[in-house]
Amino acid sequence: MKKCLFIWALTLVLSGSAAAQSKSFTLGKWVEVHNAILKELSRSYVDSLEVGRIQRAAVDAMLEALDPYTVYVPEEEQETFQMMLSNTYGGIGAVIYKPDLDGNVIINEPYEDSPSARAGLSCGDEILTIDGLSTHGLKSQECTEKMRGKPGTTVRFQVKKLRGGASWKAGDVIEVPVVRERIVLPSVEYVGMVDDTTGYILVSKFTDGVAQGVKDGYLALKRQGMKRLCLDLRGNGGGLLTEAVEMVSLFVPKGSVVVTAKGRAEGSHAQYKTMGIPVDTDMPLVVLVDSASASASEIVSGALQDYDRATIVGTRTYGKGLVQSIRPLPYDGQLKVTTAKYYTPSGRCVQAIDYSHRNEDGSVGHIPDSLTHEFTTAHGRKVRDGGGIKPDFEVKGRRYSRLTYSLVLSGIVEQYALKFVREHETIPPVDQFHFTDYDDFVSFASDKEFDYRSTARAQFDEMRKTLVEDGLEDAMKDRLDAMEKALDMDKESFLRLKKEEILPFIEEEIAVRYYFQKAGIRVRLRYDDALRESLRQPSISYTSH
């Protein structure tokens, strides 16, 4: 017996050693092959070799074969990467617009209480030079880079003012120095009451301090008489896991498990629990989600659902249950690498079963129950894994026509808002403001070049192109011509047909330019049918667990 046990133990040791040697050999083999290929290309390739470009392409392709979230970040991309993580940058705090290469830069949206706003820059002002360099011939991104810089440094603009001021007239060209600051883009974008008893908090990202922002918002709304809270995570792509844990900590008892991370490497298995005293464990809570709610948003909505602490309303979330860690690399590079999968308190992994095949909007789509597993919430409700968080009540957001998307993405609505600002010095307070001159917008948009085809017409054009390639168009010409005529609609008629869905976008863009970004959100809430429908849904049990 002892001899058998010894042989068995020795076999395990040798097999483990062999596996480790095999892994090391495979790694060493491919490093050697890779280096040999580069040396041979450098010596023999017919044209000059851009080693940096092909090496970057090779690294990107290698990481892309793993998952969409493991990426290499070289030194020159660190600032952009850090801005994505922290939502901050050094600059003047304004969104700019450059209509053409040889034109001036236009101040589009100065941020509230930003260096640009305090220096007197306002929507519609034209920047002629940046630190003495003409903006003519510069791309928009080049202008942005020159405006950004180390906080505390000064950037000087030559500005053509849209309107008169204390010491200048409309059209005057003046010098405007602006001291750059650390601009923090708010992750808690809006806090307010949507009716007499319902508080509303919009969270766009999980960056450093966002949980404290939600706490402050909650306390402010409680003082205003809030009886239930709506936490809006729609479109929130996630961020810091620690902030997600802190946010859940606000609403469930101390010591509750929020999320468990499980990885392969040593030390990658971790359990995260609430650490602080909650602000409220009983107030009714509604969490809004959609197909773009991902990662940290899914940690929050999943944990609150598992504890029956909130009613989750909307559409199935994105399905990103992977944890990324940052690892340093030579030459000041970084590797953002997937190190674990995370699991909700009930044991669900929200990672989509197959993240490489999704719907056009990035959502998970239908998953048969046969491919998923059943789990139980704190009060015995059944929930399933397999991809994202399935809401307790499905409420779909408004669908927009291809025309509306085209107007927004091509900048037509944005350009019209600038035109409106030039022609109107003031507008009523945001809650009283309604855009009424739609005929003027139709006239403006009708003169612009953009793709105004309906979805049906765009699909028809693609079908006809395919029929031409297949040599079938002539045989079906009469029927195709008749269908094309039926689908054809002139630009002005189509704009008038879609007035009701286009109008809110115009109002939002205009409101932002007079009353800053929060005013735009207030206009958006005015037309948010999904929010109103969500608040009509019955509540899940809110008894403290």
Token output for 25: 């050999």
Helix (H, G, I), strand (E, B) or coil at 50: coil
Sheet (strand 188-193) strand order: 188-193, 198-203, 228-232, 285-289, 311-314, 393-394
**Tens digit of each residue's pLDDT (9 = 90 or more) over 401-417:** 999 999 999 999 999 99
DSSP 15-41: HHHHHHHHHHHHHHHHHHHHHHHHHHH
- Residue 323 contacts residue 340 (beta carbons within 8 Å): yes
Confidence bin at 350 (pLDDT 50/70/90): confident
Token output for 503: 């109008």
Query: Cα separation of 537 and 286, whole Å?
Result: 9
**What pTM value is reported for the model?**
0.86
Res 366 pLDDT > 70: no
Task: Look at residues 117, 136, 130, 120 and name the one whose alpha carbon lies nearest to residue 156.
Answer: 130
pLDDT at 10: 45
Res 226 pLDDT > 90: yes
Active site residues: 295, 306, 320
**Tens digit of each residue's pLDDT (9 = 90 or more) over 125-175:** 999 999 999 999 999 999 999 999 999 999 999 999 998 888 889 999 999
Residues 6+ apart with CB under 8 A from 179: 115, 152, 153, 154
Task: Look at residues 241, 385, 205, 243 and name the one whose alpha carbon lies nearest to residue 323.
Answer: 241
Phi, psi for residue 272 in degrees, rounded to 5? -110, 125
pLDDT at 161: 94
State which amino acid sits at residue 42. S
Task: Look at residues 346, 367, 347 and name the one whose alpha carbon lies nearest to residue 355.
Answer: 367
Query: Cα separation of 143 and 503, whole Å?
Result: 31
**Tens digit of each residue's pLDDT (9 = 90 or more) over 47-67:** 888 888 888 988 899 998 888
pLDDT at 116: 95
% the chain with pLDDT above 90: 61
**Tens digit of each residue's pLDDT (9 = 90 or more) over 285-302:** 999 999 999 999 999 999
Task: Delineate the domains of the chain, giving CATH numbers in brackets.
Answer: 88-184 (2.30.42.10), 188-397 (3.90.226.10), 402-454+489-532 (no CATH)
